[in-house]
Amino acid sequence: MLSIPTLQHIYKSYADTQRFNQKPASLYEPINYLLGLGGKSMRPTLVLLAANLFSAQVEKALPQAYAIELFHNFSLMHDDIMDKSPLRRGQPTVHIRYDENTAILSGDAMLVYAFQYIAQTNADLLAPILQIFTHTAIGICEGQQLDMDMAAAPTATVDEYIAMIRLKTAVLLQASLEMGAIIGGADQSQAAILGSFGLNLGISFQIQDDYLDTFGQAAQVGKRIGGDILENKKTFLLLKALELANPEQKATLSRLLSTRPLNEIEEQEKITHVTALFQSLNIAQLTQDFAQHYYQLAVDDLQRLQLPPDKATYLLDFAHYLLNRQS
């Protein structure tokens, strides 16, 4: 097995040769801008990793890895318009740097190009790869819609939240591993189990993200602790708290949610009070347990795969690293 940094390096070397230099520049420059903002390339690395489990020739999976990354960046470009996000990776989002029309159309082009890279798949594997990719892309559109619907709704349940993050986030990790495995020569059943591993890991990862936003250490998370609380974001933490709160606690929480802090002192107060209420409901522990539950499902998937021990250990280390990161 190649190491993660080696896989990342192989991917980045390929991606660097795939710049969009076509005309009109007004369509393609924003694509290069967003792709150039960096990022960890986690998803394309997963594609290569999965291919490498079944084949030494990871290069075969590069077009599919790039398709996944293009799709991911298309969804960021459009989601940032819809969520009115000013920043992406610390830089102006495309609709701010250019304008909304540009972000719509350049995003559309990226989505089509993702399919063009999928089209580079060998004829014998094209049908299953295309099928996974379209199915996943539809799921992600549904996930973004569920996210927006949930943000606008007065309330939501933990189950609805899990259904949303499953589609919005986890299915792309699932597809990355499943597609990579198929390109590497895995049979459909192995590929599906590896995909399930990715799905469960993705859900675990997102729950852990929610945890860190409230209970992480600012220095390690790299952003302000409590951002989700200030936004009244319907995270696992908040929805679980609303589920468990007694009438009195629910009233306190509702009151806290309705406050609009006017300065940093009031913001810190809101964060402190909501966090204290979470603590009184044991939310930190319950969240960790829930993330651990999905992590365990991922580990169970690995066992079903019956990989040689060195490969199983490799994947387990990787999963462990993802779940136990502090940032």
The site for its own copies (CB under 8 A) is made up of 22-24, 26-27, 78, 81-82, 101, 104-105, 107-109, 111-113, 115-116, 118-119, 123, 126-127, 130-131, 134-135, 137-138, 141-142, 144-146, 148-149
> Strand pairing partners for 91?
88
Q: In the complex, what is the shortest distance from the CB of residue 110 to its own copies, in angstroms, rounded to a whole number?
A: 9
Amino acid sitting at position 164: M
Report the residue number, 14 or 20, with the smaller CB distance to its own copies.
20
Render the burial of 63-93: b for 16+ CB within 10 Å, e for the rest. Answer: bbbbbbbbbbbbbbbbbbbeeeeeebeeeeb
Sign of CA dihedral 128, 195, 206, 312: negative
Closest to its own copies by CB, 148 vs 230, is 148
How far apart are CB 77 and its own copies at their closest, in Å? 10
Tell me how far, at minimum, the Cβ of 28 lies from its own copies, in Å: 9
Longest dimension (CA), the chain: 62
| Nearest CB to its own copies, comparing residues 14 and 115 | 115
Helix extents (H) in the chain = 4-16, 25-35, 42-54, 62-82, 94-97, 100-118, 123-152, 158-165, 171-184, 188-215, 218-221, 227-230, 236-244, 247-258, 264-280, 283-305, 309-324
Instruction: Tell the smallest beta-carbon distance from residue 124 to its own copies (Å).
Output: 8
| CB-based contacts of 290, cutoff 8 Å, min separation 6 | 207, 236, 240
Residue closer to its own copies, measured from CB, 74 or 278: 74
235: helix, coil or strand?
coil
Q: Which is nearer to its own copies, 100 or 317 (CB)?
A: 100
**Residue 24: cis peptide before it, omega within 30 degrees of 0:** yes
Q: How far is the CB of 153 from its own copies (least distance, A)?
A: 11
- 30 vs 216, beta carbon nearer its own copies: 30
Residue that the structure tokens 């919005």 belong to: 168
SS3 20: coil
Closest approach of Cβ 12 to its own copies, in Å?
24
Q: Which is nearer to its own copies, 108 or 300 (CB)?
A: 108
Nearest distance from C-beta of residue 229 to its own copies, angstroms: 25
Residue nearer to its own copies on the CB measure, 145 or 157: 145
DSSP state of 22: P
Residue of 276, 291, 169 lying closest to 214 (CA atoms): 276
Contact between 51 and 60 under an 8 Å Cβ cutoff? The reply is yes
Q: Supply the minimum distance, in Å, between the C-beta of residue 71 and its own copies.
A: 10
